[in-house]
Amino acid sequence: MKTVNLYFDYLSPYAYLASIFVPRVCDEEGASVRFRPVLFAGLLNHWGQLGPAEIPPKALFAFRSCLRYARQHGIPFPGPRFHPFNPLTALRATLATSTEEEKQRAARALFELGWGRGGDLGDREEIAAALDQVGLNGLELVEQAGVETVKQALAHETEQAIARGVFGIPTMEVDGELLWGLDQLENLALLLRGEDPLAGVDIAELAPRGSAAQRKRPASGP
């Protein structure tokens, strides 16, 4: 059985939708899924990027794109009360769970709190209540989110994701192959079936030999 690592941060509406559809693809293809919380800001800082929410037209596009997708598939999508928000408590509380099953239960509950019900994913009390509703000890997990070992666990997960080449969320990893974005669900299914169109292709032979121009980066701003 293949395992899909799903790297996510609660900040991303695409990750919310991926948390619903990636497990479905895995069920259909006889694979398992492992939820991997990471700090999106850590990825952005490492690779020198701006997040979609930091570029107003891109933020609007992302919201409209995900809202359109959600409505096509009958998925609630009011969006969180505030965005961007500080996701650290939610991410760390998720990592503080004891098992993979509990982690996935926590992740689904928190995604639903923010993107599915319009709650505040930065509010400790709302986070605890959402976790309670799925049979977890919300208060304990929120308190654990402030423990140094849990803080370090999130930092470690983020560092490990960067080491694997993860630069955005959601990212799905199968046998070391990275698929970034919700639009990669079809390719995810192909990889799980052993039908990757790139199988046997020498990427090095097709890749550019180098760059012939460099964009001059502004001193500040996008």
Are 37 and 157 in contact by the 8 Å Cβ rule? The answer is: yes
Question: What pLDDT score was predicted for residue 11?
Answer: 97
Q: How many CB atoms lie within 10 A of CB 32?
A: 12
- For the stretch 48-67, pLDDT in tens is 999 999 999 999 999 999 99
- For residue 105, give the amino acid letter: R
Q: pLDDT band at residue 220, thresholds of 50, 70 and 90? A: low
Weakest-pLDDT range from 71-85, 107-121, 166-180, 196-210: 196-210
Q: Flag whether pLDDT at 222 surpasses 60.
A: no
- Give the pair of three-digit tokens for residue 221: 């701003």
Return d(Cα 103, Cα 65) in angstroms, integer: 27
- What is the arithmetic mean of pLDDT over 96-118? 98
Question: What pLDDT score was predicted for residue 109?
Answer: 98
Question: What pLDDT score was predicted for residue 69?
Answer: 97
What are the two backbone dihedrals, phi and then psi, of residue 155, each rounded to the nearest 5 degrees?
-60, -40
- What is the arithmetic mean of pLDDT over 80-97? 97
13-29 vs 100-111: helix axis angle to the nearest 10? Answer: 140
Q: Is 84 left (phi over 0), alpha (psi -120 to 50) or beta?
A: beta
- For the stretch 124-158, pLDDT in tens is 999 999 999 999 999 999 999 999 999 999 999 99
Average pLDDT over the chain reads 95
pTM given for the model: 0.94
Q: Flag whether pLDDT at 40 surpasses 70.
A: yes
Return d(Cα 37, Cα 96) in angstroms, integer: 11
Q: Flag whether pLDDT at 30 surpasses 80.
A: yes
Instruction: Give, in order, the Cα–Cα distances in Å from 143 to each of 97, 146, 209.
Output: 12, 6, 51
Are 162 and 132 in contact by the 8 Å Cβ rule? The answer is: no
Place of tokens 């790139």: 198
The ranges assigned to domains in the chain are 3-203
| Per-residue buried b or exposed e for 56-76, using 16+ beta carbons within 10 Å of the residue's own CB | eeebeebbeebeebbeeeebe
202, 212, 179, 166 alpha-carbon torsion, rounded to 10°: 120
Overall CATH class of domain 3-203: alpha beta
